[in-house]
Amino acid sequence: MVVQSADKVEDPSDPVAGREHWAFRPLNHPAAPQVGDAQWPRAAIDNFVLARLETAKLSPAPDADRRTLARRLFIQLIGLPPTPEQMAEFLADERSDAVERLVDELLRSPHFGERWGRHWLDLARYADSNGLDENFLFREAWRYRNRVIECFNEDMPYDRLLVEQIAGDLLPHDSIEQRDRQRLSAGFLLVGPKVLLGNNPDERRMDIADEQLDTIGRTVLGQTLGCARCHDHKFDPIPTADYYALAGIFTSTEVMEQRYMLGQQRLMERLVGIGEEDGERDDAYEKYWRESSKLKERAKQSKAALELLEKDDEDALQKQVKEKPESVAEPARDASAEKEARLAAQKQLVDQDAKAAEAPPIPPRAMIPRDVDKPHNEQIRLAGQFNDKGDEVQRGFLRVISDAHSGISAEVSGRLEFARWLTDTETGAGHLAARVLANRVWHHLFGQGIVRTVDNFGRTGETPSHPELLDHLASELIAANWSIKSLVRQIVLSRTFAMSSRHDEAAFAVDPENRLLWRANRRRLDPETLRDAMLQAAGTLDLTPMDSSVWYLGDQATAVGANTNRRRTDFPNRSVYLPVIRNDLPELFDVFDFADPQTTTGRRSETMVATQGLFVLNDESVMAAAEATAKRLLKEVPSSDEARGDRMYELIVGSPPSADERQDIVAFVASVKEQPGISDNADASEKAWAIAAHALFASSRFQIVE
C-alpha cells in the first residue's frame, strides 16, 4: 500500500524508513525514574510503574496478603497451587527473605519447566498429530515436548535455546547424548501442520517454509512475516524480497521424507534414529515395512511346504520347489532323504521366515530436520503463486534490522546463521527479540503484556503501555545472559507483582482496563492448572514426567469413519503430558481456551461462557476428582466434620473457611446425608463430601487466581 501525502510518498514496506517504528529502534537502557513515594518501590520495575500511576494521579493497591501471594507464585511459576503443607511452611517462615527463598525454590523445581515449557509449546504450535488432511500421528513428538521442558528447567539461555530450536541438528557435539539433545530441539521446525496429499511438491515445499517463517516471525520477532509472501507487506517494513531471502533458508531445509505408511510409500515427517545405533535400527525398521508383504508371503509359503511334507504329498511339494524354491529348505527338497531330516530342515526355515515376518519394535527416533544436499536461493513468487517465478533473491535476513551481509555460504541452508542473527545485539535482531521475550514473560506473570498484542509488534499491533519499562526488562534480559529464570525472578520479587487485586472505583474510572497496573489482575486458571489442581486436591496426581501418551493410537490419530480408538485423557500425570491431537483436543482443553495447535499462540483466548460451568458440573473427570477428594477427607480426618471442612478448603482453595463457611459446609453435608437415596447407603458421608468438594471445584474461589 502506498499512501500519498502532500510532499512525499510513504511506502510502509520500506525497510529503511521502517527502522523508525518503535519496535525496531535500539534499546535505550532507561534509568529508573524518580517517584514521589520513594518508599513504595522494591525494584526498578516498581519505579517505572509507580511513575505512570503518579502521572495519572493514581495509587497502587495494597500488598496482597502472604497466603494470596504464595498461591499466585506457585501457580504462575510451576502451574500448581501450594499444598496445605507447603502453604503452612511458607506462612511459618518469618525470615525477612522468606518470599525470595520461596521464589528460588520454585525456580529450581522440575515443575517450572512443565509450566514455562508449555508456554513455549504454545508458540511452537506443538501437537501429537499432523492434523489437516489425514491427521497422521506424530508418534515421536513427545521427545520434542520433553526436551523443551528440560531446556526450561536447565534455564538454557534464550539465545542458545533459539539456536537449538532452529538449527540444533547443525551444531557440533562432544557426545552422542549431546548430539541427540540438540537435534531433538530442532523438532520445532517439524511439529507444525502440513498438507500431505494432493498438492504439487514445489507448492508443498513453499507452504511448509511459509508456515515455519510465520511461526518464527511471530514467536521471536513479533512480526507477521507471512503477509509478505504475495506482495510487499501492506503495513510493516518487510518487502517481498526480504520474505524470499528468508524463505530460501527454509526451502533449503528438509523436514519431510518418503516413508512406508498405511501400505504404501508416503511423504511424512522426517524421522531419524537416535542413540548409539541411530540410523542402523531405523533403516532396518523402514526396510522391514517396505518388504513386509513379501516377508509375510514367504512365511506363509514355507509353512504350506511344511504341511505338504507332513502329509507326504510329494508331487505338490516338488511343484512348489519349482515355482517357489525359496519356500522349501534345501535338505527338504530331496525326496530320497529321510523324512525326519527333511521335516527338521523345513521347520527351521518356517521358524526363520516367521521371525523375519514379525514386525520389529519401533526404534528410538525423533523428528529432526536436515539441510538439503544442494542449498539454493529462492525466486520471488509473483502473487505468491508457487509456479509463477520472478527474480532470484540471495538468502539473507530482514533489512529493516540490519544491512549487514548474511554470511550464508552456498554450501549451507543458512539456518544456523539465521538463528544466531535473531539474538545478535550488534548487527542482528537481538534488541527486538529481547523486547518480544520480555513482553511474553510479563504477559504470563500479569495476564496481559506491556504490549498486549504479544505476537504482533508491527504497526497493526498495540503500542507499549510502559515503553521504558519494556526496554528496561529487555536490557536486563540481555545483561543476564538471556536467562529467563533471572527475568522471572526480578519481576515476581517486585512490589508491582505483589499487589492485591482489590478493586478501587476511582482508579477504575480512570483506567478500567488496568493498563497502568494499579492493582493485580484476577485471572482464571488455565485448563492444565485447573485439572492438575483438582487431581492434587484429590491426592491422585502423579508428578512423574511422562514419555509418549499416544502409543496406543493408530497411524491416523483420527481415522475416517467411526473413530473408536481415540486419544486418552485418563492419565494421572500432569496435563502438559496429555495428548494434543489436532482436530480432537481433550474436552477440558476445548472448553477452557487451550492454545490453538494449528498456529503460534502467544496469548490464549479468554472467555467466560456457560459451557465451562456445565463442564465442571457434569464432566466425569471432575466428579471422579471430587469423589477421590471425599475419600481422602474421610481417611485423613476420620472424626470431625468441622475439621474435614477446614481440610477440604485448604486442599482446594488454599485457605481455611471462615466461621460462617465452616458452619454452612457442615450443615450442608449433614443435610445431604439425610436425603432419600443417600441416607440409607453405607457411603452416605462419602457421597455428601464428594458433592461438597464438587461445589468447591466449581467456585470462583478455586478457579480464580487473585
Confidence of residue 277 (pLDDT cuts 50, 70, 90): confident
Burial of 585 (0-12, 13-18, 19+ CB in 10 A): buried
β-bridge partners, 259: 266
Please report the pLDDT score of residue 276 as a whole number: 87
Burial of 640 (0-12, 13-18, 19+ CB in 10 A): exposed
363: left (phi over 0), alpha (psi -120 to 50) or beta: beta
Compute the average pLDDT of residues 681-706: 94
Q: H-helix or E-strand containing 393?
A: strand 389-393
β-bridge partners, 556: 136
Compute the average pLDDT of residues 202-215: 95
Burial of 463 (0-12, 13-18, 19+ CB in 10 A): middle
Query: pLDDT tens across 360-401, in order?
Result: 999 999 999 999 999 999 999 999 888 889 999 999 999 999
SS3 268: strand
Please report the pLDDT score of residue 672 as a whole number: 92
Would you tell me the crossing angle of helices 641-652 and 684-697 to the nearest 10 degrees? 30
Nearest to 376 by CA among 413, 419, 407: 413
Cell numbers describing residue 18: 521502517
Distances (CA, A) of 489 to 70, 441, 530: 14, 11, 24
Domain coordinates in residue numbering, the chain:
278-363, 618-705
Confidence of residue 562 (pLDDT cuts 50, 70, 90): low
Q: Which of 280-289, 341-350, 597-606 is predicted least confidently?
A: 280-289
Chain position carrying cell 526496554: 471
Confidence of residue 48 (pLDDT cuts 50, 70, 90): very high
pTM for the structure as a whole: 0.94
Within 10 angstroms of residue 178's Cβ, the number of other Cβ atoms is 12
Nearest to 555 by CA among 103, 129, 133: 129
Please report the pLDDT score of residue 138 as a whole number: 96
Within 10 angstroms of residue 619's Cβ, the number of other Cβ atoms is 14
pLDDT at 8 over 70: no
Cell numbers describing residue 472: 528496561
Nearest to 237 by CA among 389, 413, 14: 14
Compute the average pLDDT of residues 606-619: 94
pLDDT at 2 over 60: no
Within 10 angstroms of residue 386's Cβ, the number of other Cβ atoms is 15
Contact 227, 236 (CB under 8 A): yes
Nearest to 518 by CA among 526, 508, 528: 508
- Among 183-187, 265-269, 385-389, which range has the highest average pLDDT? 183-187
pLDDT at 1 over 70: no
β-bridge partners, 335: none
Q: What are phi and psi of 523, to 5 degrees?
A: -135, 140
Q: What is the DSSP string of 408-440?
A: --TTS-SHHHHHHHHT-TTTSSHHHHHHHHHHH
Compute the average pLDDT of residues 77-93: 98
Please report the pLDDT score of residue 561 as a whole number: 66
pLDDT at 537 over 60: yes
pLDDT at 692 over 60: yes
SS3 535: helix
Confidence of residue 563 (pLDDT cuts 50, 70, 90): low
Q: What are phi and psi of 705, to 5 degrees?
A: -100, 120
Chain position carrying cell 514386525: 359
Q: Amino acid identity of 78?
A: I
pLDDT at 5 over 60: no
**Residue 270 CA neighbour count, 13 Å, CB half:** 20
pLDDT at 452 over 50: yes
**What percentage of the chain exceeds 70 in pLDDT?**
98
Confidence of residue 196 (pLDDT cuts 50, 70, 90): confident
Q: What are phi and psi of 508, to 5 degrees?
A: -65, -35
Sequence-ordered list of residues with C-beta below 8 angstroms from that of 247, at least 6 positions apart, any chain: 206, 209, 210, 213, 229, 378
d(CA 94, CA 106): 18
pLDDT at 476 over 70: yes
d(CA 127, CA 84): 34
The rounded Cα 380 to chain-centroid distance in angstroms is 33
Residues for the chain: how many in total? Answer: 706
The rounded Cα 490 to chain-centroid distance in angstroms is 24
Please report the pLDDT score of residue 7 as a whole number: 40
- Mean pLDDT score across all residues of the chain: 94
pLDDT at 32 over 90: yes
Sequence-ordered list of residues with C-beta below 8 angstroms from that of 690, at least 6 positions apart, any chain: 623, 626, 627, 629, 630
pLDDT at 445 over 50: yes
Nearest to 239 by CA among 247, 248, 229, 249: 229
d(CA 346, CA 305): 8
